C-alpha cells in the first residue's frame, strides 16, 4: 500500500517522526535548514500534508506550487504564518495547537514579569562583567510584584493564566482589556476587572501583552501608547512580534519613558531591532515561552494527530478554517 506523502518542514522530536512514519511517507528536515519560499513550495509539490511551525509561511504563492496539499498542521497556537483565506480558497485545512501550551506559556510570561521588574538580566550581566565589588542600598533596585497592578492586554486562555498567577499568587490588582469582556464567572475566577485600553495603559504597573497578531493589532503598542504608561511601569510581550513597535520601544527604554521591558517575540524575528540590543533595561529571550520538554512534545503530538486524523478520517482535531471549507 502506497502511503500518502507529507512534509515535516522543521526539525521535530524523533518519536513524532516515528508516529507519522507509521501512516505516511515522510520527508523531514531534521537538519533544520531554513528554506526559502520557493524551496518550501518545491518540497510541497507532491505532498498532501505538511507539519509546519510559525516560521513557515503558507500563502497563495506557496500553495500555487502545492496542488495536492490538503492540510497544514502548525506546531504553534499562533498562526499568522498562515494565509487562512488563501488556504481556504484552495481547500487546504489549517490547524494549530491550542490549550496544550497555555499553562507553560503563562508560567514563562510571569517569569518575564518578575525578571523585568526585578532587573534580573541587567544585574546578572553586571555581575558577570566583574563590576560587583560592594553592596549598596540602591543596587539594581527594581519594582515590587506583590500588591502591584497587573495589566493584561488580550484575555484569552494564556492571559487568564497570567491573571490567576498574579491575583492568587502575588496579591496583585488585575485589570485587563480585551476585544470582548469575559463572563462575570471568569472575571471572578481571575480576580480581574475590565477597563478601557487607555485606563489599562495609564494604570498598570506591569503590562503583559497576550493578544493575537492581526492587521488590527499591528503596533497596538507604539510611541503614543508608551507615552501613556507610567515611567515606573514595565512591559512584557509574549504574544507576537509586530504587536509592539520595537523601534519606538527602544527609544522609550533609552529615554526611561518606561522602566523596563521583557520581550520573547520581535518584529522580523529571528532578527532583533539593533537598538533593543543597546539598552540595558530590557530582558530578551528567543521566542521560548512554550519551551518546556513536556509542552513542546504535546504540541508536536497534537500537530501530528491533526495530520493523522484529517488524512485518514477527514476530521481535524483543532481546525482553524473548517467553516470555510464546509461552505
- The rounded distance, in Å, linking the Cα atoms of 92 and 42 is 17
- The rounded distance, in Å, linking the Cα atoms of 223 and 142 is 23
Question: Which has the closest alpha carbon to 80: 173, 200, 182, 218?
Answer: 218
Active site residue 218: no
Q: Map grid coordinates 528567543 to a residue.
A: 286
- Provide φ and ψ at 5, rounded to 5°: -95, 130
Pick the catalytic residue from 165, 273, 287, 296: 287
Beta bridge partners of 324: none
**DSSP 3-state assignment of 64?**
helix
| C-alpha to C-alpha distances, 120 to 37, 39, 141, 183, 206, nearest whole angstrom | 39, 42, 10, 36, 15
| C-alpha to C-alpha distances, 25 to 2, 49, 168, 232, 322, nearest whole angstrom | 8, 10, 49, 56, 25
Say how many residues make up the chain. Answer: 327
Active site residue 287: yes
Cα 206 to chain centroid distance, Å, stands at 18
CB atoms within 10 A of CB 264: 25
For residue 84 the three cell numbers come to 487562512
Active site residue 240: yes
- Provide φ and ψ at 293, rounded to 5°: -60, -50
| Contacting residues for 70 by C-beta, under 8 A, at least 6 apart | 48, 49, 91, 92, 93, 310, 311
Would you say 246 and 267 are in contact if contact means Cβ atoms under 8 Å apart? Answer: yes
Pick the catalytic residue from 10, 118, 165, 240: 240
- The rounded distance, in Å, linking the Cα atoms of 157 and 139 is 37
Catalytic residues: 240, 269, 287
Amino acid at each position: 500500500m502506497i502511503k500518502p506523502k507529507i512534509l515535516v518542514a522543521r526539525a521535530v522530536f524523533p518519536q513524532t517522526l516515528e508516529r507519522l512514519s507509521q501512516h505516511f511517507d515522510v520527508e523531514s528536515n531534521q537538519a533544520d535548514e531554513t528554506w526559502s519560499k520557493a524551496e518550501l513550495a518545491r518540497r510541497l509539490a507532491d505532498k498532501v500534508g505538511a507539519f509546519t511551525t510559525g516560521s513557515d509561511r503558507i500563502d497563495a504563492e506557496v500553495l500555487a506550487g502545492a496542488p495536492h496539499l490538503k492540510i497544514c498542521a502548525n506546531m504553534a497556537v499562533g498562526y499568522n504564518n498562515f494565509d487562512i483565506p488563501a488556504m481556504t480558497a484552495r481547500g487546504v485545512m489549517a490547524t494549530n495547537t491550542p490549550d496544550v501550551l497555555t499553562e507553560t506559556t503563562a508560567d514563562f510570561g510571569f517569569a518575564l514579569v518578575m525578571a523585568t521588574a526585578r532587573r534580573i538580566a541587567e544585574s546578572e550581566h553586571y555581575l558577570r562583567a566583574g563590576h560587583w565589588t560592594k553592596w549598596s542600598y540602591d543596587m539594581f533596585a527594581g519594582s515590587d510584584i506583590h500588591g502591584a497592578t497587573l495589566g493584561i492586554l488580550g484575555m484569552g486562555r494564556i492571559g487568564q493564566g497570567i491573571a490567576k498567577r498574579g491575583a492568587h499568587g502575588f496579591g496583585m490588582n488585575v485589570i485587563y482589556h480585551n476585544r470582548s469582556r469575559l463572563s462575570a464567572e471568569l472575571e471572578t475566577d481571575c480576580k480581574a476587572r475590565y477597563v478601557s485600553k487607555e485606563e489599562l495603559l495609564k494604570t498598570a504597573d506591569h503590562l503583559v501583552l497576550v493578544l493575537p497578531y492581526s492587521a488590527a493589532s499591528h503596533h497596538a503598542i507604539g510611541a503614543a501608547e508608551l507615552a501613556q504608561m507610567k515611567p515606573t511601569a514595565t512591559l512584557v510581550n509574549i504574544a507576537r512580534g509586530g504587536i509592539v513597535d520595537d523601534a519606538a520601544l527602544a527609544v522609550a527604554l533609552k529615554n526611561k519613558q518606561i522602566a523596563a521591558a521583557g520581550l520573547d517575540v520581535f518584529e522580523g524575528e529571528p532578527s532583533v531591532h539593533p537598538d533593543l540590543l543597546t539598552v540595558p533595561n530590557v530582558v530578551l529571550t528567543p521566542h521560548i515561552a512554550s519551551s518546556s520538554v513536556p509542552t513542546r512534545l504535546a504540541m508536536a503530538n497534537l500537530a501530528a494527530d491533526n495530520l493523522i486524523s484529517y488524512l485518514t478520517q477527514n476530521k481535524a482535531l483543532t481546525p482553524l478554517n473548517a467553516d470555510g471549507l464546509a461552505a
